[in-house]
Amino acid sequence: MKDISVSPEVHFLEDVLKWIAAGELRVPKFQRPFLWRPEQMLQLFDSIERGYPMGSLLIWETPEQLASLDEIGGMPIPGPPDRAKVAYVLDGHQRLSTFLGSLHRASDAPRSEHQEDWMWWIYRPLGKEDREGSRYRHWKSGGRADPDYLPLRSVLRTVDFLGYSRQLYDVYPTALADTLVEEAQRVAHRIKSYKVSVVRMSGGTLGQAVEVFSRINSSGQKMRPDQMVSALTYETTGSVTLSDRMEEIQARISDSGFGEIPMMTVFQTVLAVSGEEDVQNTSWDIMAKKVQGQLLTAVEDTDRVLEKVVAFLRETVQVPLARLVPYNIQIMLLAVFFHFSKEPEEERLQKLRGWFWTTSLAGTFAGANTTQVRKFIEEMKAFAVGTGDLDYSDERARAFPERFDLRSARVRAYLIWELGTFPDRINPDGSTIDAIDQLARSHTETYRHVITQSRVDRASSPANRVVMRTPAGVSIRQALIDLAAENRTDVLTSHGVSLEAVERLKNNDYSGFIMTRQHELASRERIAIESLGILPPEQESAEADIDTE
């Protein structure tokens, strides 16, 4: 451990921004990207004008050369000056980006209706002292703002401020222009004279600096483990960090139509592929040292094996979307298999398919702790290389879920089965609907309630939901009752709804409809479970556990 010294300082905001513009104060790459919403940016300037404190900045002065951002607030930042002291922002990135991006904006910077352009063009409307809320505004069009909108980019530039003041005299009568200019001068003085508290930390190691950042970050959004390991291994990963590479992998999988795999899952997969079995370790500085030499190769291997995992899930197991995978740990364990088993034979793939269904239906990974996860990885490695087996013959499927909630692995397993069992759904008007495509966009709107009365017994059951389009103002319940005779059988069969269940609807026996359909679906699912060689549930239905990561 190296000694750390801390010294509080006070500086004009304008001077701090000059340090950034000169490349002397930098933002390390392990910081999150700019995440503030436009209204947060406006509130920051409003707080300054009202004299409210904005919180201190924490910077770390070190001789170490850290990988850092070359753009802050949409502004290019030069490299660190030769032989000059360089400091890194540990807390204050979002605030400093807002200041630099708006106060140092170039006059010819892009203006458009796109947020990435207009969010940096911040104005202080003049002559409207009775405003409520923030006194600041964005100008969201590509054109020039109204004459009485003071552009913040001019308040630190004397020539630009004088030019804006002259413009007011060109547009308004002298008396009104005098009033507006006086107000503009007060605003500019507030910003130019604003002092910020800077806590300067000197000494210490990179690991200590990252730990400090992860503890004190004022935004309340914790540093992700992959970002922390990226910071601690920057010498190995170079300017493109581990997080950057993982985000590329995540984006490729999402763009394939499978949807987004959680970043933590991708990160744990990288660790597992690197040979690490303790993938849930929270001592990320120790973890970084252990895997530092294997990271680049592990990321490339992860990219390759996750492609195989997605293909296996889609083609062999018939999982259409990432959001339906019951447990994210299954993705990581499948990646371990495909990493260590280069060309698995069909028999082994079918065994893996059975393992997926068994663990999904039985809730095998619910609440898995570090020791259990390590055991699962060891077991999968042994199976992949042919020195072990995946024996889950004593696992029993959990009962049909009584509540539709995608936070339940059992519900996700049910939906995978349901989507495969009813692939071609027909609407009452004879048109077809792609349930998977619709589910990829929104699961809450895809599976619509048949009975909308919450007080009806078992109204939350998956049996009370179907994927169907109806005319405006027509409920699913009414559409099922009014089905034309010529296509009634085809429509009902495509949704797994029996004539008996519809008769219950016609007689206003809503609970009876749900119970009838639930029994029919549970019976069909049970047959599928037994055909997989999995022990069927001991009871027909039960409350669905909320057990996903």
pLDDT digits (tens, 9 = 90+) for 135-188: 999 999 878 899 999 999 999 999 999 999 999 999 999 999 999 999 999 999
Mean of the per-residue pLDDT values of the chain: 89
Distance CA(377)–CA(374), nearest Å, equals 5
pLDDT of residue 364: 96
For residue 18, pLDDT over 90 is answered with: yes
Whole-prediction pTM: 0.70
* Nearest residue to 72 via CA among 128, 116, 34, 120: 34
What is the dihedral sign for C-alpha 533, 537, 543, 547? negative
pLDDT tens profile 298-311: 889 999 999 999 99
pLDDT at 328 over 90: yes
Report CA 276 to chain centroid distance, whole Å.
25
| Euclidean distance between CA atoms 303 and 177, whole angstroms | 62
- Considering the chain, what percentage of its residues have pLDDT values greater than 70? 91
Question: Residue 11 and residue 24: Cα distance in Å, rounded?
Answer: 15
Quick: pLDDT tens for 44-89. Answer: 999 999 888 888 898 999 888 887 888 999 899 998 877 777 899 9
Domain map (residue ranges) of the chain: 1-221, 225-385, 400-542
